[in-house]
Amino acid sequence: MAQYQKTTIIPCTAEDLYQWHARDGAFERLIPPWQSMDILSRRGGIEKGANIHIRLKRLGISTDWIAQISEGLEDSFFVDSQLKGPFEKWIHRHEFSEVDSHQCHLTDSIDYSLPAGKLGAFFGGRFVASDLERVFRYRHDVTKNDLAAWNAYRSYPKFNVLISGGYGFIGSRLANFLKGQGHSVSVLSRNPRQGDFGWDPENGSIDSTGFNGFDAIIHLAGENLGAGRWNDTLKK
């Protein structure tokens, strides 16, 4: 059994940190940009019994991972355990403990085993340990920055925001950030999902029902910035 642990001081209370993890969009905020991951299904948040089914893609190979919250205590900790996935065993404890009235410790502790026993540990142990350090360095940096923003603007009112292009590279990240800050976010999309607002610019149609309820509309729909080189033809 291998172990990994990382602790970072976060500029907020343990209660605020726990509640941030419980909000929609927090899980997505913690996915590194270099990690290809699709959320296939999700039930609940970080309460006991909640689970998530994700699909990881690396080097053209897809791996399904199903994790469930096995235990937890509000404002203190929660534990997710792998039910199915790439590890022989995976138990991840997220712990939040007060430092003082303005700061707390975020501690991620993982007990894990690789497949194939000692052989798997010999060939893959160093790679996995290095990968975990890289991933959790990113996660802790995002968490620290997001909670610093939460603290700076916590007294400001929360808004109801509509984002076009909300599933794009920039729009999805903005949507998840805003959700983590306590704002309500809806999406205006050409391919609307449940709860979205539909938009068909080619036919000049738009689902404007409920638009009066939004405090802000952010327009990010357009050509995919990462689709290729912006030559003269594409710019036109």
Residue-wise pLDDT for 34-84, tens only, equals 999 999 999 999 999 999 999 999 888 899 999 999 999 999 999 999 999
Residue that wins the pLDDT comparison between 231 and 227:
231
Task: Tell how strand 184-189 and strand 77-84 pair up.
Answer: unpaired
- Of 112, 134, 153, which residue constitutes the final position of a domain? 153
Asked if 135 and 192 sit in the same domain, the reply is no
Asked if 143 and 164 sit in the same domain, the reply is no
Asked if 165 and 207 sit in the same domain, the reply is yes
Range of the domain at 196: 160-235
- Of 153, 181, 196, which residue constitutes the final position of a domain? 153
Asked if 218 and 202 sit in the same domain, the reply is yes
CATH number, position 120: 3.30.530.20
DSSP string, 71-113: EEETTTEEEEEEEESSSSEEEEEEEEEESSSS-EEEEEEEEEE
Asked if 126 and 229 sit in the same domain, the reply is no
Tell me, what amino acid is at 225?
L
Secondary structure of residue 162 in the 3-state scheme: strand
Asked if 18 and 75 sit in the same domain, the reply is yes
Asked if 102 and 145 sit in the same domain, the reply is yes
Asked if 198 and 146 sit in the same domain, the reply is no
Single pTM value for the model = 0.88
Band (125; pLDDT cuts 50, 70, 90): low
Asked if 119 and 167 sit in the same domain, the reply is no
The chain-wide mean pLDDT, for the chain, equals 90
pLDDT of residue 227 exceeding 70, the answer is no
Secondary structure of residue 133 in the 3-state scheme: helix
Q: What percent of the chain has pLDDT over 70?
A: 91
CATH number, position 171: 3.40.50.720
- Of 134, 153, 172, which residue constitutes the final position of a domain? 153
Residue-wise pLDDT for 78-107, tens only, equals 999 999 999 999 999 999 999 998 999 999
Asked if 85 and 188 sit in the same domain, the reply is no
Task: Dig out the tokens for 55 from the structure.
Answer: 């699909």
Asked if 169 and 77 sit in the same domain, the reply is no
Asked if 198 and 149 sit in the same domain, the reply is no
Mean pLDDT of 7-15: 97
Upper half-sphere CA count for residue 136 (Cβ side, 13 Å): 19
pLDDT of residue 119 exceeding 60, the answer is no
Q: What percent of the chain has pLDDT over 90?
A: 72
